[in-house]
Amino acid sequence: MSAGAIYVNSWSAAGYQSLINFGMSCDGINRALVVFIYVDSSSNVLNYCQYDSVDLTAEATIAGAGIQRIYVQSMLNPPTGTLNLITSIGGPLNFHVHAVTLEGVEQSGDPFGSVGWSENNDSSPSRSRDSNNRSIVLDSVGYIDDTIVPTVGAGQTKVEDTNIGSATRFASSWEQGVDPSVVMSWSLSSSIQWLMGAISVQGIQKKSSRALMIL
C-alpha cells in the first residue's frame, strides 16, 4: 500500500512593496513547504525568502518575456509551529507570495522535481509535469492585469488568488499526481501575456505488511 504527499494549507500576501512578512503554520509528519513568488520585473530582484530566519532552497527562477518573473522556493521538514515567512526583494515592486504546506513528503534525497514552466499570450495557460500516485503537483500563473479572472483547470484545486489593483494578478493550485504525468491548466477571462510554473513533489511510500499465519 502506498501513501502520497498531500496538501495541508496555504497562505498568501501581495502588494507594491519590497518586503512581505506573514505568520504561517507547519505541522504534521514528513512536512514540506513550497513558496511561489511573482514579481513584475525584468531583473533578478529576490534578496531572500526565509522561514523562521532560515533561507529556503531555490528550486527555479523563471524569467518570462517582458517584465515578469516567478521564483520557486522550498524547505524540507520545516520547523513546526506558527512562524514567520519573510520575503525580500529589491523594490518596491508589485509582488506576490504564495506559500503551500504539505505532509507525507519523502524526506530522503530530493523530493522536489524539476520546475517546468511555460508562457504565451492567450487565455489558456498549461504545463505538464511528470508525476505518480504518490506525488502532488503544484503550480502558479501570473500576469500584468489584475482584472483578468483565472479559473482553475479540471482536477485542480485553487489555493490562492491575489491581485494588486491596476497592476498584477497571481493564482496557484494543486492536483494529486497520477502516473505518468499531470497537466496543470487555467482558463483566463481574457487573453494576456502570462507566465506559469509547476513542480511535482514526491510523497513517501508505506511498506505493505504481511500477516504470518501459523497452522
Give the neighbor-by-neighbor strand order of the sheet with 157-163.
116-122, 192-201, 136-143, 169-176, 157-163
Q: What is the DSSP letter of 147?
A: T
Domain extent at residue 131:
6-201
Cell numbers representing residue 39 in the block:
514579481
In a domain? residue 208: no
In a domain? residue 206: no
> Domain total for the chain?
1
In a domain? residue 63: yes
Residue with C-alpha cell 524539476?
Answer: 114
- At 205, is the pLDDT very low, low, confident or very high (cuts 50, 70, 90)? confident
Portion of the chain with pLDDT greater than 70, in percent = 94
In a domain? residue 15: yes
Closest CA to 38 of 85, 99, 96: 96
Q: In this predicted model, what pLDDT tens digit does every residue of 1-58 receive, in sequence order?
A: 347 999 999 999 999 999 999 999 999 999 999 999 999 999 999 999 999 999 999 9
Distances (CA, A) of 196 to 95, 120, 141, 151: 15, 9, 4, 14
> What's the pLDDT score for residue 66?
84
Q: In this predicted model, what pLDDT tens digit does every residue of 141-171 receive, in sequence order?
A: 999 999 999 999 999 999 999 999 999 999 9
Task: Say what the pTM is.
Answer: 0.94
In a domain? residue 149: yes
Residue with C-alpha cell 511510500?
Answer: 205
- Residue 188 pLDDT exceeds 80: yes
Three-state SS for 28? coil
Residue with C-alpha cell 500576469?
Answer: 143
In a domain? residue 28: yes
Whichever domain contains 116, its CATH number is 2.60.120.380
